[in-house]
Every structure is written in structure tokens, then in C-alpha cells.
Amino acid sequence: MKPVISITFDDGNVNCHAEAFSILKNYGLRGSFYITTEQVGAPGKMDWKQVGELYDAGHEIGSHTHTHPLLTTLDDDLLEMELSKSKELLKAFNPRTIAYPCGDYDEHVINAAKKYYEAGRCFAETGPGSPNLLPFKNPFALSNTSLDGYSGIGQDREKKEWIIFVFHLYGRMTLPQVWWGITHGRFKWSTVQ
């Protein structure tokens, strides 16, 4: 089994639409874009039309909450508002997963997220470790992998691993080894959902 790879983009930055979208299209790949719904249309952020273009092209649109708070610091009412409002505003894009802002989550956050989503992505620093070994035990604690910190990507083809990369801004020079690995058949490609 080849390692599975996913590329995710947090915050809804317009740079990801302007640059990553076209590169993913050129390679015939799909990414997962996590949108902070209150920021849609703000300077430097995608507007709803751009989010829709990503979705229509087959990319996953997921939640990055409504206002991007540290979820573990919220009382129950605010936590529910962050999750439900984001889900409601994104409903046209069928959001099935969430990326916790700053990777901030605990069991209480997971239990609340389960009401709205099928899985949750954290940060390598806050998750159970990365890459994710398949089958994973907790779909609400999916770790991401730093592109710089994982030089052994796909080295062991017998390992059943799922490597999730996360970006906030996209730079043209950030993904050459990932593109090479995909185009040379070293990885299976997937969105997070």
C-alpha cells in the first residue's frame, strides 16, 4: 500500500485560491481548504465566490470555525456557536471535517465537533503524532506533518501511513518533493474527507 497524502490549506487566504488552486488543477489533484467563515471577504481572504469555485472544482471545503478562537478556552455556548455557525454558513459546500484553530482541542472539543463533523485535524504539535498510521484510532485527532520536518516522506512503501500537510499561505517553492512523489506514483492522493 502506498502512503496516502493530503494537502490542506487553513484560514481561507486568497493566496491559496490565486496560486495553489491552479497548481492543483494542473496536476489533477484535490486539496482540503479550511475556511474561517467570519473572515470570508475580508482583505487577504477568499470571498464566497472563490470558495465556491474551489468546491465546484472538486476540492474539499471544511470548517476552521467561525471566528478562529482557541476552542478549549470557550464555554459550552460559545463552542457550540463556533461550530454550528461555521457549519451553517458552509452548508452549500457540504463541510464534513474541521481543522481546529491553532490545533487547540481536547476531549470536550472533540465531543462537540462530533455533532457537526466526521473528522478533525489538529497540528503535529498538538496531535497524537504524525504521520497518521492507518487505520487511525481517532478521526477527530488527525495530525498534520510539517513539510520541512518529514524528509522521509514515502520512504517505506510498506508503512500504512496518511500524511497530511497543512499550509496557511501558499508559496510556489514549498511543494516540489510532494509534486514529484505524486507524479511518479509514490503516493495515493486524497482529501481529508
Query: What would the DSSP string read from start to end of the chain?
Result: -PPEEEEEEETTBHHIIIIIHHHHHHHT---EEEE-GGGTTSTTB--HHHHHHHHHTT-EEEE--SS---GGGS-HHHHHHHHHHHHHHTGGG---EEE-GGG---HHHHHHHTTT-SEEE--TTTSS-SSEESSPS-TTSBPPB-TTT-TTTT--TTS-EEEEEEESS--TTS-HHHHHHHHTT-SEE----
Residue 172 pLDDT: 53
Residue 2 pLDDT: 72
Which phi and psi (to 5°) does residue 62 adopt? Answer: -125, 175
Residue 173 pLDDT: 45
Global pTM reads 0.88
The grid coordinates listed for 33 are 481548504
Count the domains in the chain: 1
Residue 28 CB: number of other CB atoms within 10 A?
10
CB 93 within 8 A of CB 52: yes
Whether residue 135 has a cis bond before it, omega within 30° of 0 = yes
Residue 193 pLDDT: 74
Residue 77 pLDDT: 98
CATH number at 68 reads 3.20.20.370
Distance CA 64, CA 100 (A): 6
- Name beta bridge partners: 61: 33
CB 103 within 8 A of CB 122: yes
Could you list the pLDDT tens digit for every one of the 193 residues in the chain?
677 888 899 999 999 898 888 888 887 889 999 999 999 999 999 999 999 999 999 999 999 999 999 999 999 999 999 999 999 999 999 999 999 999 999 999 999 999 999 999 987 655 555 677 777 788 999 888 766 555 555 555 566 777 788 877 765 545 555 666 666 666 676 777 7
Which residue range is the domain that position 143 belongs to? 4-189
Who contacts 166 (Cβ-Cβ below 8 Å, separation ≥6)? Answer: 8, 9, 10, 99, 121, 123, 144
